[in-house]
Amino acid sequence: MTVSRRDFLLGAGSLLGVCGLESTWRSAAAFVPPPMSMPMRSTAATLAAPKVPLISPTSLARFVDPLPIPPVMRAAGQRAHPRYPGRQLPYYRVEMRAFKARLHRDLPPTSMWGYEGAFPGPTIDVKRDEPVLVEWINALPERHFLPIDHTIHGAEKGKPDVRTVTHVHGARVPADADGFPEDWYTPGRSALYHYPNGQDAATLWYHDHAMGITRLNVYAGLAGAYIVRDSEEQALQLPSGGYDIPLMLCDRLVAQDGSLYYPVSDDPSAPWVMQCNGNLPLCNGKIFPYLQVEPRRYRLRLINVANTSFFDLSLSHDQAFQQVASDQSLLAKPLERARIELYPAERADVLIDFSAWAGKTIQLRHQSQGILEFRVGASTGSKVPALPATLRDVPRIDSASATQHRVMALTEVDDANGNAMTMLLDGRRWSDPISEKPRQHSIETWSFVNPTGDAHPIHLHLVRFQIVDRRPFDLFAWNARRELKFTGPALPPEPHECGWKDTVRTDPGMVTRIAMRFEGEPGRYVWHCHFLEHEDNEMMRPYELLPA
């Protein structure tokens, strides 16, 4: 039996429900892009079975390791910058290094790469309108330890194995500090980036963005949190200090010798696969950890840093989350939610009140499986202060005032079995001429037409946006004539999507429309699918912001 990519995404995409994983590997599909000079393949390659035995989540004891809390990065000093004559800016020096870490008490050490030799890397904590300088230093080995596919554009055999360039996801930065995928550098070199931090308080994150190997570098561990704070948020007196915790969520496959396993196709010359779903959930780099908490309110900054997997999060005992922020800022008011679903790169800041659980435990769950246990201390008798009724004004963008309405298709070309051969944004490859050239300060709407079977998370660099609506359309009319024929009413964004976003889930069979003002400096930026395997293989495009 042949398993299509959609079947595989539904099956193996559940992190903890992969009991029959080995049999799925043999038949699930992967796309291997041939070099442009070679004839196109008529069928997609298949996912190869692992050649090493993998760790099963059922073999590991739960909640035996404390949850690591990444340290806050300290400035290494002060430096001048030509944009700020006569002024010294905080200067951070961040090295990317190889290291070994125990992902679980009962596993051998795992070789990884990380910022400052850790995964996650240290948290960079900044204030609005207080610019900083960060030097990202590549101190990694010369050879990669994960499988590079040299048939992918930008990762050809002539390129060095190990290349990095750091992107702060969600940051409003000059183009020369955004981490453009082709601006990579090799071991022994570095890049000094300037971050103005001229944006609302938000939970951002940083990760590698090197052309053609982003999926491998992030899987190796190159990611960390970047938090922007401002006085408006601080006035709300939300949990702070040790009660404000970034929680980076991802999944991995780990061999029994402790090494990371990255899935490959059955073609050794072209090992790329179209998705990478693990069976072991990691919370701040640990598998099934626990966190000792006080019986009070905490703020968790949930960040999905997985390559392809989404998280469907809930709390045990029917405890509710209070969501206070999404990708780019606070929501207008706290939103009570029983479940939080995060696609790759999405964030949600939630408050959890542990005051009713003194002396007990409560679990954070993905689907029905506990992935993090909270151990609540004894009651102190103190009262938990009431939540503010309102958080921050979120004025809506008038989509009718847009100067440009763009319609772009998310394209997958399939073989006869429904397996993807190639994936593109609006039918264009990375190297095609730039087609999106918005003007500085202009308002545009972008409509993503998704005739594929995957819910692609689309991310735009530089800007924050608002979701306008989603609307079903006639797939047959679109595929036959590229005619956009709607089959139902426009659906407004869900309440938790009504804040500022930088990554949007585009559902299959729907047109997802967003609106944004292109604030920021002119230059080249990118937009892409944040399934990292898709991004690395043509589902990424440059755009150019022109002067006003």
The tens place of each residue's pLDDT in the chain, 548 residues long, gives 233 343 333 333 344 433 333 322 222 222 233 333 333 445 667 889 999 999 999 999 999 999 999 999 999 999 999 999 999 999 999 999 999 999 999 999 999 999 999 999 999 999 999 999 999 999 999 999 999 999 999 999 999 999 999 999 999 999 999 999 999 999 999 999 999 999 999 999 999 999 999 999 999 999 999 999 999 999 999 999 999 999 999 999 999 999 999 999 999 999 999 999 999 999 999 999 999 999 999 999 999 999 999 999 999 999 999 999 999 999 999 999 999 999 999 999 999 999 999 999 999 999 989 999 999 999 887 788 899 999 999 999 999 999 999 999 999 877 677 666 678 999 999 999 999 999 999 999 999 999 999 999 999 999 999 999 999 999 999 999 999 999 999 999 999 999 999 999 999 999 999 999 999 999 999 999 999 999 999 999 999 999 99
The runs of H, that is alpha helices, within 473-531 are: 475-481
Pairing type for strands 369-376 and 404-414 reads unpaired
CA 353 to CA 297: how far, in whole Å? 4
Rounded (to 5) percent helix, strand, coil in the chain:
10, 40, 50
Backbone dihedral region for residue 27 (phi beyond 0: left; psi -120 to 50: alpha; all else: beta): alpha
Cα distance from N-terminal residue to C-terminal residue, the chain: 56
CA 520 to CA 401: how far, in whole Å? 19
392 three-state secondary structure? coil
Q: Tell me what pLDDT residue 431 has.
A: 96
Q: What are phi and psi of 463, to 5 degrees?
A: -100, 155
Token pair of 237 as six digits? 């007196």
CA 103 to CA 284: how far, in whole Å? 10
Q: Tell me what pLDDT residue 418 has.
A: 67
218 three-state secondary structure? helix
Of 36, 154, 96, 144, the closest CA to residue 535 belongs to 154
CA 452 to CA 414: how far, in whole Å? 10
Q: Tell me what pLDDT residue 42 has.
A: 56
Q: Which residues lie across from 202 on neighbouring strands?
A: 228
180 three-state secondary structure? coil
CA 25 to CA 43: how far, in whole Å? 17
- Which amino acid does the sequence have at 202? A
Token pair of 10 as six digits? 């539904």
Of 160, 166, 142, the closest CA to residue 218 belongs to 166
The residues, any chain, with a CB within 8 Å of residue 451's CB and separated by 6 or more, are 409, 410, 411, 475, 478, 479, 508, 509
- Contact (CB, 8 A) for 110 and 180: no
Instruction: For residue 295, say if its preceding peptide bond is cis, omega within 30 degrees of 0.
Output: no
Q: Give 269-310 pLDDT, tens digit per residue.
A: 999 999 999 999 999 999 999 999 999 999 999 999 999 999
- Contact (CB, 8 A) for 437 and 479: no
Pairing type for strands 110-115 and 88-101 reads antiparallel
Pairing type for strands 510-517 and 523-529 reads unpaired
Q: Which residue has the tokens 């930065």?
A: 173
Q: Tell me what pLDDT residue 28 has.
A: 27
* Torsion angle defined by CA atoms of residues 268, 426, 250 and 354, in that order, rounded to the nearest 10 degrees: -170
**What is the total residue count of the chain?**
548
Q: Give 493-533 pLDDT, tens digit per residue.
A: 999 999 999 999 999 999 999 999 999 999 999 999 999 99
- What value does the CA radius of gyration of the chain take, rounded to a whole number of Å? 23
The full DSSP string for 90-105 is EEEEEEEEEEEE-SST
Q: What are phi and psi of 484, to 5 degrees?
A: -90, 100
490 three-state secondary structure? coil
514 three-state secondary structure? strand
Q: Tell me what pLDDT residue 511 has.
A: 98
